[in-house]
Amino acid sequence: MVNRNCIIRLSRYKNALFRLKALGFMKVFSDNLADAVGVTAAQVRKDFSLFGVTGNKKGGYLVDSLIERLNIILGKDSVNNVIIIGAGNIGTALMKYKGFEKEGIKIIACFDIDPIKFSKKADIPVLPLENIKDFIKNNEVKIGIIAVPDIAAQNVLDILAVSGVKGVLNFAPIRLKGPDDCIINNVNLEHELENVIYFVNTQEKTKQ
Amino acid sequence: MVNRNCIIRLSRYKNALFRLKALGFMKVFSDNLADAVGVTAAQVRKDFSLFGVTGNKKGGYLVDSLIERLNIILGKDSVNNVIIIGAGNIGTALMKYKGFEKEGIKIIACFDIDPIKFSKKADIPVLPLENIKDFIKNNEVKIGIIAVPDIAAQNVLDILAVSGVKGVLNFAPIRLKGPDDCIINNVNLEHELENVIYFVNTQEKTKQ
DNA sequence: ATTTTTTAGTGAAAAAAATCACAAAAATAC
DNA sequence: GTATTTTTGTGATTTTTTTCACTAAAAAAT
């Protein structure tokens, strides 16, 4: 089983490839990618070799086919319907966020408990949470984004897991416990910022 | 120099400690924390030992003093003034987000180029980007959050770095290059979600 | 007072991840 | 046609991170 960090790097390579393609590159070498992503060339090649992704000696990798290959590995060749739970600050921002669409990730609905938030006719409808179970089953939703307050998050996860969701991106600042076959990734904005603060402070101290 | 993951774990321990405290715990054992955070008890103790954080044999750790200790390590004992650049979806959500305040992180201003976004009298003012350099210097801002489109991000980073910002949390989906004494942490929402998708797909395949 | 139990702290060991370094292949140069 | 250059692919090595396992201390029980 491959490492989370390795998969994140694959996403980054893909990202870099799109930019290199936009710049007119038809082929790239491992050190171009390494440079674009901030890793070593050996790391790039090692990552690729784990998935049997091959290039051409002295010829590097063809940008288009490498993108295609990475998309298949990352599961982007099929449609990924995603729902958001929580139409607060974060949930709303994610609904409006254009980045997902660009990457072929489709947010198909949002759910909330507050009737004021409902907008059933919108492009991405905001629906009552009580309908979520049926919605997940009818639409075969496999991925959910939890953007509710921490106090509600575990309950939401339980509903998602029971309804058949297999992967969750959790923005609530709390560790959620779900069944083994449901992957949970956490994005904790406080911790990310705290991390920056720590390293800034540490650097300042060591300088003196 | 300690590891980024280790520091993230410290943040998680602190987080868990607050919750345990709210539940009435006065002291905790390494395995309580381990359980709350999803690591092993040995990992907890090892992390602490790296920073000289000690408890009591058979007595565990006192919740209050452990929180205090972690806050000092994480640099939360002094004020952390932070600015956001970009008053779009993400930037606005972050401005409204209550999580930072709870953690003693103060968002003191936001900057944008679009005059429609300006609101100089608001609680967290949205100011013209052209004023950012002076603002950073006058307020001794050390930390910034980049929430502008990828195309503008490198330019914003350059301005921040020149003005004296030492740490950046970057939401733009692009790798930024800054001076060595400026720490850059990236939050790439697409990649986080892509990661979930990958592991969901992988799990489904291995089951068959 | 002594024994038992529990849990921290930490070197040693194991596992995981990253880097090195080099053979082999392909393109180019001569 | 041969030599040279460049770059991949990967086994071996190194480094990093995590886990193990045991000592020692403190509390509780006898």
SS3 label, residue B168: strand
> What burial letters (b/e) apply to B99-110, b meaning 16+ CB within 10 Å?
bbeebbbebebb
With contact defined as beta carbons under 8 Å apart, do A118 and A126 qualify? yes
User: Residue B181: pLDDT band by 50, 70, 90 thresholds?
Assistant: very high
pLDDT score recorded for residue B82: 98
Q: Does A81 touch chain B (CB under 8 A)?
A: no
pLDDT at A207 over 80: no
Q: List chain C nucleotides near protein: any atom < 7 Å from a Cβ.
A: 5-11, 16-21, 24-27
Q: Decide: CB of A29 under 7 A of nucleic strand D.
A: yes
DSSP-derived pairing of the beta strands B27-28 and B61-62: antiparallel
pLDDT at B21 over 90: yes
Which residues in chain B have their CB less than 8 angstroms from residue A77's CB? none
Q: Decide: CB of B5 under 7 A of nucleic strand C.
A: no
**Are the Cβ atoms of A197 and B173 closer than 8 angstroms?**
no
Q: Decide: CB of B189 under 7 A of nucleic strand C.
A: no
pLDDT score recorded for residue A1: 81
pLDDT score recorded for residue B161: 98
List Cβ neighbours of A139 (8 Å cut-off, separation of 6 or more): A81, A108, A109
Q: Does A187 touch chain B (CB under 8 A)?
A: yes
B 20-59: CB under 8 A from A: 36-38
pLDDT score recorded for residue A139: 97
Q: List chain D nucleotides near protein: any atom < 7 Å from a Cβ.
A: 5-11, 16-21, 24-27
For the stretch B30-89, pLDDT in tens is: 999 999 999 999 999 999 999 999 999 999 999 999 999 999 999 988 888 999 999 999
pLDDT score recorded for residue A208: 63
Count Cβ atoms within 10 A of the Cβ of residue B118 and give its class: 0-12 exposed, 13-18 middle, 19 or more buried. Answer: middle
pLDDT score recorded for residue B77: 86
Nearest to A191 among B12, B94, B191 (CB): B12
pLDDT at B206 over 90: no
pLDDT score recorded for residue B205: 81
pLDDT score recorded for residue B1: 82
DSSP-derived pairing of the beta strands A27-28 and A61-62: antiparallel
**HEC readout, A63-85:** HHHHHHHHHHHCCCCCCEEEEEE
Query: Any bridge partners for residue A83, and if so which?
Result: A109, A144
Give mean pLDDT, residues B5-14.
98
Give mean pLDDT, residues A4-23.
97
Give mean pLDDT, residues B160-169.
98
With contact defined as beta carbons under 8 Å apart, do A177 and A150 qualify? no
User: Residue A79: pLDDT band by 50, 70, 90 thresholds?
Assistant: confident
Dist CA B29 CA B32 (whole Å): 5
Q: Does A99 touch chain B (CB under 8 A)?
A: yes
User: Residue B208: pLDDT band by 50, 70, 90 thresholds?
Assistant: low
Q: Decide: CB of A42 under 7 A of nucleic strand C.
A: yes
C19: residue with closest CA to C1': A42
